[in-house]
Amino acid sequence: MNKGQKLLKRAKKIIPGGNQLLSKRSEMFLPGLWPAYYKKAKGCKVWDLNNKVYFDFAGMGVTSCVLGYSNEDINKALIGGLKNGSMCTLNATEEIDLAKELIGIHKWSGMAKFCKSGGEACMVAIRIARAYTNKNNIAFCGYHGWHDWYLATNMNNSKNLDKQLLPGLKTKGVSNSFKDSIKPFMYNDINSLKKIFKKKNNNIGIIIMEPMRGVKPKHNFLRQVKSIAKKNKAILIFDEITSGFKDNYGGLHLKLKVDPDIAIFGKSIGNGYPISAIIGKKEIMQVAQETFISSTMWTDRLGFIAAKATLKKLKQFKINTIISNYGNKIKKGWINISKKNKVKISISGQDAIPYLKFDYPNNLEILTYFTQEMLKKGFLAGGQVATSFAYNDKIINKYLKEVDKVFSKIKVCLKNGKFPLKGEIKHSTFKRLTG
C-alpha cells in the first residue's frame, strides 16, 4: 500500500469520507491504489508521498488550474499581496479592479460580487434572483452543486438528477420546504422547459443552467431558453463555473452569443486559488443590498490578486485557443487509437475538457483498468482531461503513446472477457454517497 492510501485510512477516522471534495476521493479513480495525496505540484507534474512523479491528465485540480500548478507569474503577484497583508479592517482595491475587468469583458453586465467557491457563487446568484423576482421556484438544467435547493429535485422522484450528471443522490438532510419548488429540464430539449411554464401557478422566477457541458447546443436552444425567461419575467443564470474562460475568454456564452441576466464563474479564473464571481445586470445585482449576503473571507485580497493575474495571462497568451487545440489533439488521438485497436469509444465535452467513455456495458471496469495501467506509466488519467497551458505537444504525444499501449491491452481483455484489476472498480460519479 502506498503512503497516500495509508494516510487516507487515517484521514477517514477523523474526516467524513476522508477529505473535503468528493470528486477528489480515490474511489473516483482507482480505489485502494490511487496516490491520494501530493507533496508537490508544478506545471502539469505531481509528486506523491512516495516521491513518484506523474503527469496530470486526470483533471488539473478539478479543471481549475488552467495555467498549470504553481504558475510563476501568479505566485509572484501573490507574494506581493502577502507582503502587504492579505487581510485588513479596510478593503482591498483589487476587488474594484477585478469587478471593472469582468464587467468590461461582459458588456451586458453592470455589477459584480465575489465569493471564494463556485458553490457559494451559485447560492448567492440564486438568492439575488429570488430577491429580485419575489418568486421561489427554480427551473434548472445541469450540475449546480451541493445546495438544498438542488438536491430537493429528487424529493418527488429519486431519479430526477440521474440525467443531470449525478445519479443516485439522496435528499437526506434537506428541508421538505423545498419540495415541489425545483423543476429539472433537459439540455437541448426546449419542450421540457416549456412544459414547466405551461403549468398554472408555476411561480418560476429563475432559470439556471450550464450553457454547455457534454454536448453543444442545437436548434437555437439557448436563445429559446432566453426567450422563455424573458416572456415569463424569470432571471436567466448561466453557470460557467466549469466552462468559463476555457474554450473562450470570458466564457462560453459569449462564444455562443447568448447573454444571460446573471453569470457565475469560479475554478479557472483564479488558477486554483479561492475566488468566484457573480456578474449581472445592474438593476438585478443591486437587489443584493436588500438581502443579507456577506462573509469575512470574501474580502481576502489574495483571491482578487490571483484572478487579476490569471485573467491577464489568459488574455495575453490567448490560452483558451491553445488549450482548446490541445483538447482537440487529444480527442483525435483517442479516435485514431481506438480505431487502430478496434476498441469502441465515445467522446464528448467542450474542446478544452474532453471526456472519454468506452462503449461497453462494463465501461466503469474498463476505465478503472485504463487508470490502473496509465498510473504504472506515470500518468494520472481517467475519463476526463482538463487541458492546461502547462501541457505541450511533447507531453501530449507521450500521453497518447501510453494510451495506445493500454488500448492494446484493453483489446486483449475485451476478447478474453476479463480485466486484471488489482482493486475495486471505480465509483460512478457520486455512487459513494449512496452505496
User: How many residues comprise the chain?
Assistant: 435
User: What sign for the dihedral angle of Cα 242, 185, 431, 382?
Assistant: negative
Q: Total structural domains in the chain?
A: 2
**Residue that finishes a domain, picked among 279, 294, 316:** 316
Q: Do 161 and 216 fall within a single domain?
A: yes
Instruction: Give Dmax (Cα) for the chain.
Output: 67
Q: What Cα–Cα distance (Å) separates residue 213 from each residue in 249, 265, 304, 324, 379?
A: 16, 14, 27, 14, 25
Cell of 237: 443564470
* 104-107-111 Cα angle (round to 5): 70
Question: Cell 506545471, residue?
Answer: 43
Q: What CATH number does the domain containing 161 carry?
A: 3.40.640.10
Q: Which DSSP symbol is given to 420? A: -
Q: Do 169 and 253 fall within a single domain?
A: yes
Q: Do 236 and 277 fall within a single domain?
A: yes
Q: What CATH number does the domain containing 414 carry?
A: 3.90.1150.10
Q: Do 130 and 246 fall within a single domain?
A: yes
**Residue that finishes a domain, picked among 316, 331, 366:** 316
Three-state SS for 56?
strand
Q: Which DSSP symbol is given to 344? A: -
Q: Do 46 and 64 fall within a single domain?
A: yes
Q: Which of 335, 333, 322 is nearest to 387 (CA)?
A: 322
**Structure confidence at residue 432 (pLDDT):** 37
Q: Do 327 and 295 fall within a single domain?
A: no
Question: Cell 415541489, residue?
Answer: 180
Bridge partners (DSSP) listed for residue 346: 357
Q: Which DSSP symbol is given to 192? A: H
Q: In what order do the strands lie in the sheet with 53-57?
A: 38-42, 45-48, 53-57, 379-381
Residue 80 amino acid letter: G
How do the pLDDT tens digits run along the chain, 435 residues long? 899 999 999 999 999 989 998 889 999 999 999 999 999 999 999 999 999 999 999 999 999 999 999 999 999 999 999 999 999 999 999 999 999 999 999 999 999 999 999 999 999 999 999 999 999 999 999 888 777 777 777 767 777 776 766 676 777 787 787 778 889 899 999 999 999 999 888 899 999 999 998 788 998 999 999 999 999 999 999 999 999 999 999 999 999 999 999 999 999 999 999 999 999 999 999 999 999 999 999 999 999 999 999 999 999 999 999 999 999 999 999 999 999 999 999 999 999 999 999 999 999 999 999 999 999 999 999 999 999 999 999 999 999 999 999 999 999 999 999 999 999 999 876 543 333
**Structure confidence at residue 253 (pLDDT):** 96
Q: Do 201 and 302 fall within a single domain?
A: yes
**Structure confidence at residue 165 (pLDDT):** 66
| pTM summary value | 0.94
- CA 70 from centre of chain: 20
**Residue that finishes a domain, picked among 278, 294, 316:** 316
Q: Do 268 and 365 fall within a single domain?
A: no
Q: What is the DSSP string of 354-400?
A: -EEEESSTTHHHHHHHHHHHHHHTTEEESSB----TT--HHHHHHHH
Three-state SS for 351?
coil
Please, are residues 416 and 151 in contact by the beta-carbon 8 Å criterion? Answer: no
Residue 10 amino acid letter: R
Cell of 433: 454517497
Question: Cell 495506445, residue?
Answer: 404
Q: Do 117 and 18 fall within a single domain?
A: no
For residue 357, the enclosing domain spans 3-70+318-433
Q: Counting runs of H as helices and runs of E as strands, what totals does the chain give?
A: 13, 13
Q: Do 211 and 356 fall within a single domain?
A: no
Please, are residues 166 and 159 in contact by the beta-carbon 8 Å criterion? Answer: no
Please, are residues 37 and 4 in contact by the beta-carbon 8 Å criterion? Answer: yes
- CA 62 from centre of chain: 6
Q: Do 78 and 66 fall within a single domain?
A: no
Q: Do 114 and 218 fall within a single domain?
A: yes
